Chain A
Amino acid sequence: MSQLRILVGVKRVVDYAVKVRVNSSQTAVETANVKHSVNPFDEIAIEEAVRLRERLPKGSVAEIIALSCGPAKCTETLRTALALGIDRGIHVQVPEGTTLEPLAVAKLFSAVVKEEKPDLIIMGKQAIDDDSCQTGQMLAGLLDLPQANFVAKVDIKDDKLTASCEIDGGLETVECSLPAVITTDLRLNEPRYASLPGIMKAKKKPIKTVTPADLKVDIVSKLKVLKVEEPPKRKAGIKVETVEELLNKLKTEAGVL
């Protein structure tokens, strides 16, 4: 088998455990002074790339590259990926506050793929901030590559990729040639913790920074956000003292009896 080179997408998103708030101008969720982490699906992508290296015959995976598009702090996100076993990072830097739509990200990835020529591109099936679930598919379309989405299991043998994909009501097994794009689903693996030696090593690994202009990609938004609002708040429940009161309320207020 020829040596594999893998590209992994890594997005910096508001931490999954943070309670998001709409900003005061109602244009987006508040991101200032909020804990950010690697998009959980991208963590799974990172883990799978590293596991492929561990699982396939020694030396099969020549290089794993992580790519992140976003503001300066994305280097931090890339360092996490490097600590987990990725070899080097590429950061497509945009000014803080720039909106990157899935198509723009797909175009940026496409430009990087043309330069780096990876055999496999692993991306999270979606990012937990905008939940678009489009970038992987668009990238495959732009590059005219085979794609396997919502992958729960993946194997590579003799330059053929076999993947189990989560579909409604079951699993679909697909087989395709390389290069290919796959997007990860939750059940693919359980990401490991970053080890301290890994974190130390990550400091010395290279991260290349480029701009959309360097890649000759137009990232101007095609969409306009009119307004971001919180869903209506649920009203607090009440405690009733007696069964009679409960029945009464069910009849008169709830109208279910």
Chain B
Amino acid sequence: MSLQHTLSRALKALPRQSASKSASVSLTPALLYFSQLRSASYSTITGSKQTILHQKLKASKNSNVSSKNLISKRFAGYTPRTRNPNFKQLTAADVGKFGEILPKNRMLVSKELGGSEDTSDMDGYNTDWIGIYKGKAQVVLFPINAQEVSQILKYCNSEKIAVVPQGGNTGLVGASVPVFDEVIISLQKMNKVRSLDQDSGALVCDAGCVLEVLDNYLADHGLTMPLDLGAKGSCHIGGNVSTNAGGIRYLKYGSLHGSVLGLEAVLPDGTIVNNLSTLRKDSTGYDIKQLFIGAEGTIGIVTGVSILAARRPSSVNASILGANSYEDVRHLFKQAKSELSEILSAFEFWDSESMTLTLNYNKFSPPFETLYPFYVLIETSGSNTEHDEKSNLAQNGILAQDKSQFRKLWDYREKMPQAIFATGYAYKFDLSIPISKLHDIVGYLKQKLTSEGLFLDKDGKIDPSLPIISVNGFGHIGDGNLHLNVLMKNEDEKIIESFKYQVYDWIKSMNGSISAEHGLGIIEAENLHYSKTPEVIDIMKKIKHLFDPNGIMNPYKFFPPT
């Protein structure tokens, strides 16, 4: 069934459903804005996303979020303050050993350790993407194959030198930068495609391949990567795997736990685990690769990835709808799922507060004259251009909107984080919640903060004299993933502390997850118990110990402090 047809049905159906349930539920008069994209070339679309990323980067670097708040100052959850004394302090002799493994031009070494770099030259590797964490690594290594990674890790393990693996360094939880002086092992020079099976779509590549580069490579073969996210122009596939990244195609292609067919990883003792299977099916024993997906480099370094590419959709449609309640958004989602089933590729939503922020900051003209409490963006991807076109014509005789409108439409959603970062001090949650309750936390938090006199005046209006200027939510409703944001005029640790744990308690009571697609890193390490039972955490620790008895792999993160 075509998107157009489904939308028109939704238009008719929604008010009826709402009215029958409760007279007080207001109607949804507007399912508006419809844009069609046929025989679309994805590269032009994703090209604009890359620009967005760069703008995001600029925005965050320029905002006050980054400039002054380094690790010791900022309240960002658990912030380790003491270096583990069991780890060796690097010496010139260690640097000499690294020099035996790697040529000079693939090492950055600080002047203190006999190299040529000022510490500021290494800031890019020491600072995380949102600019809240800054480590003090004095050595950055750039291996180009698993053998080199193996030799480096073997040496570090024997000397108890702590390491941090790093990909595109676009993570949002501080997992990819050192906390103290851990050696950075950057995979950025491991960036070759190894093979592509055109029959099955199995792509085998180095871990340091940039996601967008891979996608462009696959485009030439009529294929696409099974994941897509805002940072695609910089992030590495190895980092995606290690974070268990989600993104906007999750609804269609599912988790990396399914699309990753095999991995090559190097363990701390130097063992190269070659599990680069290209098989769709394999039921021979423990599925070891799954342990590395989302492990954030704590048990080994992913050096190669075998991933199942999907057929590139040749026909893409998108639409933005306005809705009056979260209930209506849910109805829309159910309807979209049942009627668009296999061609539904994204179902995003955001609330009016997020919309206002992005409209103001990006100077976008609103899609509709009225501001709706909720907005939904539906994207469909099909494979049969002619068919889509014909069925649309036959059923509706409708129009074709153009590609630039398709991009503008995604801009409403994609430029939202940038707007939020730029408008004030944003405290962000990345939550997994059952879809039925997804947006409840926003109302709960608003009410709570208002009752505590921090947000909204008596009449429910924004009061500029209060510390909190916006509480908003947006996200991937199809995946039950909400990005909840509390926007403050200025960073205030006390206020953050006052609401943060209540949000987590709420999440725990809903059996949700405190990190849906960003990982644990430094930020969420101490909060793991909100999502995992003590038994599960215990098993995680045992696994960690089995692979990394000396604890050198990406330390101070991932696990709650003991």
Show the binding face of A for B, using Cβ within 8 Å. 15-19, 33-38, 40, 75-77, 79-83, 190, 193-197, 199-200, 202-203
> Which of B365, B385, B396, B402 gathers the greatest number of chain A CB atoms within 10 Å?
B402
- Cβ-closest chain A residue relative to B10: A196
Query: Are B398 and A79 in contact, with the CB atoms below 8 A?
Result: yes
Q: A17-B404, A34-B39, A35-B39 are in contact. Are A193 and B32 (CB under 8 A)?
A: yes
State the CA gap A15–B7 with chains docked (Å): 24
A83-B39 contact, Cβ under 8 Å, with A17-B44, A190-B365, A196-B7:
no
Tell which of B32, B41, B385 touches A19, judged by Cβ atoms closer than 8 Å: B41
A35:B40 contact, CB within 8 angstroms: yes
- When the two chains form the complex, which single residue of A17, A76, A196 contacts B400, counting CB atoms closer than 8 Å? A76
Residues of B within 8 A of A35 (CB): 37-40, 400, 402-403
| Residue among B34, B37, B397 making CB contact with A194, cutoff 8 Å | B34
Q: Are B402 and A196 in contact (CB under 8 A)?
A: no
Q: Given A35-B40, A196-B33, are A80 and B400 neighbors across the interface (CB < 8 Å)?
A: yes
Tell me the complex Cα distance, A203–B397, Å. 6
Compute how far the CA of A76 lies from the CA of B390 in the bound complex, rounded to whole angstroms: 11
Contacts of B34 in A (CB 8 A): 193-196, 199
Give the shortest distance, in Å, between B316 (CB) and chain A (any CB).
10
Q: Are A76 and B39 in contact (CB-based, < 8 A)?
A: no
A197 to B399, CA, bound (A): 13
> In the complex, are the beta carbons of B8 and A16 less than 8 A apart?
no
Contact with A along B395-412 (1 / 0, CB 8 A): 011111111110100000
Q: Given A17-B404, A193-B405, A196-B34, do A76 and B396 touch, yes or no (CB 8 Å)? A: no
CB < 8 Å: which of A36, A83, A197 contacts B398?
A83
Q: Are A197 and B402 in contact, CB atoms less than 8 angstroms apart?
A: no
Assess whether B393 is interfacial by the CB under 8 Å rule.
yes
Give me 23 A-to-B residue pairs in the complex whose CB atoms sit less than 8 angstroms apart, sorted by A's number: A15-B402, A16-B404, A17-B402, A17-B407, A18-B41, A19-B44, A35-B40, A35-B400, A37-B401, A37-B403, A77-B400, A79-B398, A81-B399, A82-B399, A194-B33, A194-B401, A195-B32, A196-B33, A196-B319, A199-B396, A199-B398, A203-B397, A203-B398
Indicate whether B219 reaches chain A with its CB closer than 8 angstroms.
Answer: no
B367–A193 touching, CB < 8 Å:
yes
Which 3 residue pairs across A and B have the least CB separation, nearest first? A80-B399, A17-B403, A37-B402
Greatest chain B CB density within 10 A among A17, A82, A200 is at A17
B41 touches A37 (CB 8 A): no
**A15/B32 contact (C-beta < 8 A), A79-B397, A203-B398 known:** no
Whether the pair B399, A202 counts as a contact (CB closer than 8 A) is yes
Q: Which chain B positions have C-beta within 8 A of A18?
A: 41, 403
Nearest CB in chain B: distance from A194 CB, A: 6
- Say yes or no: B11 contacts A197, CB within 8 Å: yes
B31 an interface residue at 8 Å Cβ cutoff?
Answer: yes
Known: A195-B32, A196-B32, A196-B34. A33 touches B402 (CB 8 A): no
A194-B33, A197-B11 given; name 16 further pairs at CB < 8 Å. Answer: A17-B402, A19-B44, A37-B400, A40-B402, A75-B397, A76-B393, A76-B398, A79-B398, A80-B398, A80-B400, A193-B32, A193-B33, A193-B367, A196-B321, A197-B30, A202-B399
Q: Does B278 contact A (CB under 8 A)?
A: no
Does B244 touch A at the CB level, under 8 Å? Answer: no
- Kindly state the separation between the CA atoms of A104 and B33 in the bound complex, as whole angstroms: 35
A40 CA to B38 CA, complexed, in Å: 17
A202 contacts across to B, CB distance below 8 A: 397-399
Give Cα A244–Cα B34 distance, bound, in whole angstroms.
55
Task: Kindly list chain A residues whose C-beta atoms are within 8 Å of the C-beta of B31.
Answer: 196
Which of these, B32, B365, B407, contacts A197 with CB under 8 Å? B32
Q: Is the CB of B403 within 8 A of A16?
A: yes
- Which residues 1-45 in B have Cβ within 8 Å of A in the complex? 4, 7-8, 11, 30-35, 37-41, 44
A34 to B44, CA, bound (A): 14
| In the bound complex, CA of A8 to CA of B365 (Å) | 25
- The minimal Cβ–Cβ distance linking A113 to chain B, given in whole angstroms, is 25
> A34 to chain B: closest CB distance in Å?
6
CB contacts under 8 Å to A, within B345-386, are 365, 367-368, 385
Q: Report the minimum CB–CB distance from B72 to chain A (whole Å).
A: 39
User: Once the chains bind, are A76 and B11 in contact (CB under 8 Å)?
Assistant: no
Residue pair A77, B399 in contact (C-beta under 8 Å): yes
Chain A residues with CB below 8 A from B44, complex form: 17, 19
Contact with A along B332-355 (1 / 0, CB 8 A): 000000000000000000000000
Nearest Cβ in chain A — how far from B6, in angstroms? 11
| Residues of A with C-beta under 8 A to B365 | 190
Q: If the complex has contacts A193-B35, A195-B33, A200-B8, are A38 and B402 also in contact, measured as CB distance less than 8 A?
A: yes
Q: In the complex, are the beta carbons of B399 and A194 less than 8 A apart?
A: yes
User: Please, which residues of chain B bring their CB within 8 A of the CB of A34?
Assistant: 39
Most buried by A among B11, B31, B33, B368: B33
Set of chain A residues within 8 Å of B400, measured between Cβ atoms: 35-37, 76-77, 80
B103 CB, nearest partner CB in chain A, Å: 14
Q: What residue of chain B has the Cβ atom nearest to residue A17's Cβ?
A: B403
Q: Which residues of B contact A80 (CB under 8 A)?
A: 398-401
Residue among B31, B319, B321, B398 with the most chain A CB within 10 A? B398
Question: Shortest beta-carbon distance, B385 to chain A, in Å?
Answer: 7
Among A34, A195, A199, residue most surrounded by chain B Cβ atoms (within 10 Å): A199
Q: Which residues of A contact B37 (CB under 8 A)?
A: 35
| B319 shortest CB reach to chain A, Å | 8
Residue among A79, A83, A196, A197 with the most chain B CB within 10 A?
A: A196
Collect the chain A residues with CB atoms within 8 Å of residue B30's CB. Answer: 195-197
Q: How far is the CA of A83 from the CA of B4 in the complex (A)?
A: 13
Taking CB atoms, residues of chain B closer than 8 Å to A81 are 399
Residues of A close to B404: CB separation below 8 A: 16-17
The interface residues of chain A lying within 8 Å CB-to-CB of B407 are 17
Report how far A203 CA is from B39 CA in the complex, Å: 23
Q: Which of A75, A79, A196 contacts B11 (CB 8 A)?
A: A196
CB neighbours (8 Å) of B7 from chain A are 196
Closest to B44 in A: A17
